[in-house]
Amino acid sequence: MQDRYNPRGAWTFFQRETRRFLRVKMQTIVAPALTAVMYLIVFRYAMGERHVPGLNVPYFEFLIPGLIMMAMLQNAFANTSSSLIASKVMNVHVFLLMAPLSSAEVVFAALAAATVRALIVAVVLLLVLFPFADIHVVHLWMILLYGICGSIIMGGIGMLSGMWAQRFDDMATISNFIILPLTFLSGVFYSVHQLPVFWQTINQFNPFFYLIDGFRYGFLGTGDSDPAKAAFVVCLATLLVVFCCWYAWRLGWKMKV
Amino acid sequence: MNALEIRGLSKSYGKGKQALSDVSLNIAEGSFFALLGPNGAGKSTLINILADIVHHESGSIHLLGRDLFKERGWCKRRLGVVPQEVAFDPFFSPREILRFSSGMFGVAPDEDWIEELLIRLELKAHAEKNTRQLSGGMRRRLLVAQALVHRPRVVVLDEPTAGVDVELRKRLWVFMQELNAAGTTVLLTTHYLEEAEELCDQVAIIDRGKLLMHRPMQALLADAAARLLRLKYNQPLTLNAEQLGALSRWRPRIDACSIDLAIPSNQTASSFHTVYTAAIETLGVPVDVAIVQEDLEDIFLRLTGDAHAGSL
């Protein structure tokens, strides 16, 4: 029985995945914070005191939660995907395959580490952006639900991408042609009410839209989508992604020949 | 009990390349086992299936009596594999790698044992360096230490001594022999046949995915290694079917102008005479004659060599 579960192994793997990004703080934590500040400064002065149409909030207050969430999603994705693809390219993934860890343990540890990285980035961003605007918390539960579920979803998608990719170039393709457009076109920088109807409809199918909108709702108390519907979509997506990761790792998809 | 019991193991990679076909093999607990074969024979495929890096296609493996494919967790904790390719996480020092590996196997790092591994594998002086600063030989020794850190009962080494210099190689083997004496089963693949001859008590040879033979080393050497009668001619030899038929019982092996024939081990005056006479009758009078002792390398070449692989 003792041999069926390996909590110490999962903990060790989790530690490896967190130490990996803590060793390179400049690119994993400081850089995202700087990027967010840049966006804020640029848009702050470009948009002035304008309010977001449809929502009665100043533009830069609208922008801050979106920037934080975008950074969280990108970092959660980066943690799992870069770990796996780097391991594969260096051929050290064999040590993970040889270890007595079940699929559930591997997925749990990898996604937990991705979530921790996203949360650290979020806290750093909050601290850095705080001087620029009043940040209110209206619904804390929504912030936590969307923040954590969003990180798990993106960590999971990163894990699947890392398993699929065989070269760094494959990974760059996913990052630049799928993840980046989806995050940029998810309503971080605008409200969907500003879009033509066609693009509003398209947005309904972008999972990132619900993540960012729900997260922002927690700060502003208002948003573009129905919070109950968004919460349902997000929880369902989280379960689906976790299941896919578990199943793919169990099969050794693209990891074992 | 058998440390490993392999039954009908098969594996093919895409495009129909058969890496292993129907391999069955028993490895008794406590043995020091050599798995030999030329490059591409299927040794690494077999080891990678054991290590859970490669999927098997059909067949079964039992490790210490448990089904490897059904009870992976149990089996993996008792198995230490040294893969052929050397690679490490660039963020860690050897000591950290050993601690980390121990944790991954669900074992609290045993600092005394880690210290002993570092000393025995001559890595103590480099324990806190980054792995990128280590030489090729050091990295390979670290790979061995890593496979031993959770104290496995079965250790599998895929070419563990490639790139390790002679002196260190000897010390590595002394260490492995001590572990073996303490009850650890050791399975190794190596290109150094004299190493296998010296260390191992069991030997199996595989070629092109098929198991050619498995025997105790002593029996193999004693029986197969009768002495060889080596006849040299002044032109390259090729045997026609008739000549081959006449000489086949002495397992002829041709190397350019010379031919080796095994002298039966029940050495009487007539056994040498019979071989020699048959050779002269079939091939004519040679320009030179020698008697050589067959070693593992000759047996290996004989078993895997193109010309006569089929006749065995």
Task: State chain A's maximal CA–CA distance in angstroms.
Answer: 64
**Is a pLDDT exceeding 70 seen at residue B293?**
yes
The answer to the question of residue B298 being in a domain is no
The model's confidence at residue B265, banded by pLDDT at 50, 70 and 90, is low
The answer to the question of residue B300 being in a domain is no
Looking at the structure, tell me whether residues B282 and B187 fall in a common domain: no
Contact predicate B55/B44, CB 8 Å: no
Looking at the structure, tell me whether residues B254 and B119 fall in a common domain: no
CA B46/CA B56 separation, integer angstroms: 9
Looking at the structure, tell me whether residues B48 and B191 fall in a common domain: yes
Looking at the structure, tell me whether residues B125 and B230 fall in a common domain: no
Which residue from A minimizes the CA distance to B12?
A: A257
Q: Which ipTM did the prediction report?
A: 0.88
The model's confidence at residue B312, banded by pLDDT at 50, 70 and 90, is very low
CA B56/CA A199 separation, integer angstroms: 49
Contacts of B108 in chain A (CB under 8 A): 8
Contacts of B72 in chain A (CB under 8 A): 100
Judge whether A193 is closer than 8 Å to chain B, CB to CB: no
Domain boundaries, chain A: 7-251
Contacts of A3 in chain B (CB under 8 A): 71, 73-74, 77
Please give the helix or strand (H or E) that residue B239 lies within, else none.
none
Q: Which residues pair with B197 in a beta bridge?
A: none
Looking at the structure, tell me whether residues B176 and B200 fall in a common domain: yes
Looking at the structure, tell me whether residues B238 and B131 fall in a common domain: no
CB contact under 8 A, A256 and B103: no
**Is a pLDDT exceeding 50 seen at residue B168?**
yes
CATH number of the domain at B265, please: 3.30.70
Judge whether A251 is closer than 8 Å to chain B, CB to CB: no
CB contact under 8 A, A91 and B87: yes
Contacts of B101 in chain A (CB under 8 A): 95, 99
The model's confidence at residue B225, banded by pLDDT at 50, 70 and 90, is low
Q: What percent of chain B has pLDDT over 70?
A: 95
**Is a pLDDT exceeding 80 seen at residue B15?**
no
CB contact under 8 A, B87 and A92: yes
Averaged over B297-306, what is the pLDDT?
Answer: 71
Judge whether B100 is closer than 8 Å to chain A, CB to CB: yes
* pLDDT for position B144: 93
Contacts of B52 in chain A (CB under 8 A): 97-98, 256
Range of the domain at B182: 2-216
Q: How far is A20 from chain B (nearest CA, A)?
A: 8
- SS3 call for B200: coil
B31-63 pLDDT, tens digit per residue, is: 999 998 888 889 999 999 999 999 999 999 999
In Å, how far are A221, B156, B173 from B186, measured between CA atoms? Answer: 66, 6, 11
Looking at the structure, tell me whether residues B74 and B200 fall in a common domain: yes
Averaged over A75-100, what is the pLDDT?
Answer: 94
**Is a pLDDT exceeding 70 seen at residue B83?**
yes
| Boundary of a domain, candidates B197, B216, B235 | B216
Mean pLDDT value across chain B: 87
Judge whether B113 is closer than 8 Å to chain A, CB to CB: no
* pLDDT for position B310: 38
Nearest to A95 among B71, B101, B106 (CB): B101
CB contact under 8 A, B105 and A95: no
**Is a pLDDT exceeding 70 seen at residue B268?**
no
Q: How far is B74 from chain A (nearest CA, A)?
A: 5
Q: Give the count of domains, chain B.
A: 2
Q: How far is A5 from chain B (nearest CA, A)?
A: 8
CB contact under 8 A, B103 and A11: yes
Averaged over A149-174, what is the pLDDT?
Answer: 95
CB contact under 8 A, B105 and A100: yes
A68-79 pLDDT, tens digit per residue, is: 999 999 999 999
Looking at the structure, tell me whether residues B55 and B186 fall in a common domain: yes
CA B167/CA B173 separation, integer angstroms: 10
The model's confidence at residue B226, banded by pLDDT at 50, 70 and 90, is low
**Mutating which of A82, A98, A102 best tests the B interface, going by the most B Cβ atoms within 10 A?**
A98
* pLDDT for position A227: 81
* pLDDT for position B124: 94
In Å, how far are A74, B66, B202, B263 from B69, measured between CA atoms? Answer: 37, 9, 25, 46
A186-231 pLDDT, tens digit per residue, is: 888 888 778 888 888 888 888 888 899 899 999 988 887 788 888 8
* pLDDT for position B307: 41
CB contact under 8 A, B52 and A91: no
Judge whether A91 is closer than 8 Å to chain B, CB to CB: yes
Judge whether A26 is closer than 8 Å to chain B, CB to CB: no
CATH number of the domain at B10, please: 3.40.50.300
Looking at the structure, tell me whether residues B124 and B259 fall in a common domain: no
In Å, how far are A22, A113, B113, B206, B245 from B79, measured between CA atoms? Answer: 32, 28, 17, 22, 47
| Boundary of a domain, candidates B163, B192, B216 | B216
User: Tokens standing for B83?
Assistant: 């893969």
Closest by Cα among A113, A149, A154, A116 to A10: A113
* pLDDT for position B192: 76
Contact predicate B206/B43, CB 8 Å: yes
Contacts of A9 in chain B (CB under 8 A): 103-106
Judge whether B54 is closer than 8 Å to chain A, CB to CB: yes
The answer to the question of residue B311 being in a domain is no
CB contact under 8 A, B77 and A95: no
Q: Which residue has the higher pLDDT, B59 or B220?
A: B59
The model's confidence at residue B269, banded by pLDDT at 50, 70 and 90, is low
**Is a pLDDT exceeding 60 seen at residue A160?**
yes
Q: What percent of chain B has pLDDT over 90?
A: 50
Contact predicate A119/A73, CB 8 Å: no
Looking at the structure, tell me whether residues B193 and B281 fall in a common domain: no
Judge whether B53 is closer than 8 Å to chain A, CB to CB: yes
Contact predicate B275/B265, CB 8 Å: no
Q: Which residues pair with B295 in a beta bridge?
A: none
* pLDDT for position B266: 64
User: Tokens standing for A78?
Assistant: 């980066």
Looking at the structure, tell me whether residues B43 and B177 fall in a common domain: yes
CA B285/CA B312 separation, integer angstroms: 28
The model's confidence at residue B204, banded by pLDDT at 50, 70 and 90, is very high
* pLDDT for position B32: 96
| Boundary of a domain, candidates B216, B238, B269 | B216
Looking at the structure, tell me whether residues B66 and B135 fall in a common domain: yes
A179-195 pLDDT, tens digit per residue, is: 888 888 888 888 877 88
A6-56 pLDDT, tens digit per residue, is: 999 999 999 999 998 998 888 888 998 898 888 888 888 888 778 887 777
* pLDDT for position A24: 87
